Chain A
Amino acid sequence: MASIIVSAKERGIAGCHTCGQAVKMQNYAQIECPRCGAEVHYRKYDSINRAWAFLIAAFIMYIPANTEPMMHTTSLGNTSADTILEGVIYFLSHGDWPLALVIFSASVMLPLLKMIAIAYVLISVQRGSVSRKTEKTNLYKLAEILGKWSMLDIFVVGLMAGLVQLGALTTIAPGPACIAFAAVVILTMFAEMAFDPKLIWDQVDK
């Protein structure tokens, strides 16, 4: 007994992204939600192009984020500069592997996996793929939830620089990778917000 599921769009109805109200669109492409006043549209505007633009920018920033130093530490005249991977290796060499694992996953793996996940979903929508729609939706939602944890290393550098600089012999200064890294996190968040998961479900068998 298979029931036929229709998209709201086919019935001239759109769900408000902000309050969830089902809104009758009355031949308009975009109207104001009668309940919360936010803009309601069938699909996010120019979703795929905007998502790609943010995603490509994020990919580019990911390179300096990993090759440039994240932090300069000056202690008694000696300055050392650490990239993210060097920071991970530092913890590993001190036998602190749980911490090394946390930083490696949050700073190196997570942004990369998130970018790959969004790129995969974007490509499959552009190719008109009809397979594994539920899995793709779940992948997108997972990327949405986990993305912010990549901010970890920026917070660590920010805190250490802020806490230690007050007239101590040791100073900690942020490196150029910090801003690149923040750009990766923010741009992937924009990419994920620009993408409309409903496009996954708009693809139908021919």
Chain B
Amino acid sequence: MSSIKTIAQSDILFVCHECDALQRVPAVEPGHDAICIRCKSRLFRNPKGGIDKPLALVIAVMIMFIVANIHPIMDLTIVGVKLSTTITGAAYVFWQSGSPELAAIVWLPSVLVPGLIIAGLCYVLFSIRFQLNWPYTKPILVLIDRLLPWGMMDVFLLGILVSMVKLADLADIIIGLGFYTFVIAVVLYAATIASLEPHTLWESLQDQSGKQNEFENG
């Protein structure tokens, strides 16, 4: 039997993130949302599948993300010259050719930030799901919250598609393994974020540290 408490089990005092309305929120069924009484914004959700679903998804994302980043996204043939690069490889060429700041603007939101979010979520979800009490879960979750708006894999995917159409005039294109796995990573990443409720994670973390304190006192 799992001792992981979910938010649905108790009435809690809640402050709306958007309009500051103070309200007592009753239990929410799995798969339903709690909506602010004043501005109708979503206060929190109670996603179906608890913590298992985002954990399973984020592991899948991690695998796809790694494969997508070590394989070329496309092979180009321009007047007999064959080119093949990964996302990081393309950013590196960009860096060397004298636009390091633009290379960073391309590479950070498409590779580093999503990579940190995925790795961080794996760590935190593992720790919560198997009650491992791993260190630094709270600062990592705060960091993930700060990084989320800067992860732009979905926009980058559209960017790859547009550049393929543009390059089709100049070169012969063969789509690589990196591209297919990147598409899967983007879809699964969106599903992971949709299946996560930060509030539930924080409740679980609070429970864990509460238990830890009891052990320390006893």
Contact = CB atoms under 8 A, between A and B. Distances in A.
Given A137-B41, A164-B78, A193-B149, A158 B90 contact: yes
A36 B142 contact: yes
Interface stretch (A46-54, A56-64, A111-119, A173-181): A173-181
A163 B85 contact: yes
A103 B163 CA distance: 11
A152 interface: yes
B81 A168 contact: yes
A99 B14 contact: no
A91 B43 CA distance: 43
Interface stretch (B49-57, B63-71, B97-105, B188-196): B97-105
A111 B105 CA distance: 17
Interface residues of B, number: 65
22 contacts: A5-B38, A15-B14, A19-B199, A22-B14, A35-B205, A37-B139, A75-B170, A96-B165, A99-B162, A137-B39, A144-B149, A148-B149, A148-B155, A154-B105, A155-B110, A155-B152, A155-B163, A163-B93, A168-B81, A169-B81, A179-B105, A198-B20
Given A38-B142, A148-B152, A179-B101, 15 more contacts: A5-B23, A5-B37, A5-B38, A8-B22, A11-B22, A14-B15, A15-B20, A18-B142, A148-B109, A148-B155, A159-B163, A162-B93, A166-B81, A166-B83, A170-B79
A5 B91 CA distance: 52
Contact of A158 (B18, B20, B102): B102
Interface string B21-43: 11100000000000001111101
Q: Which of the four size classes fits the interface of chain A?
A: 35 or more
Interface in A150-206: 151-152, 154-170, 173-174, 178-179, 182, 189, 193, 197-198, 200-202
B83 A36 contact: no
A167 to B, nearest CB: 6
Contacts of B149: 144, 148, 189, 193
Nearest to A193: B149
Q: Of A36, A37, A170, which is in contact with the most chain B CB atoms at under 10 Å from its CB?
A: A36
A89 interface: no
A156 B163 CA distance: 5
B155 A152 contact: yes
B198 A158 contact: no
Chain A contact surface mostly: helix
The 8 nearest A-B residue pairs measured at CB: A162-B90, A15-B15, A155-B159, A158-B106, A19-B202, A201-B19, A8-B22, A8-B15
Nearest to A94: B169
B78 A152 contact: no
Contacts of A200: 19
A140 B138 CA distance: 29
A21 B90 contact: no
A160 B94 CA distance: 9
A159 B106 contact: yes
A7 B37 CA distance: 12
Interface string B155-199: 110111011011100110000000000000000000000000011
B58 interface: no
A22 B15 contact: yes
Given A37-B142, A133-B19, A164-B83, A19 B198 contact: yes
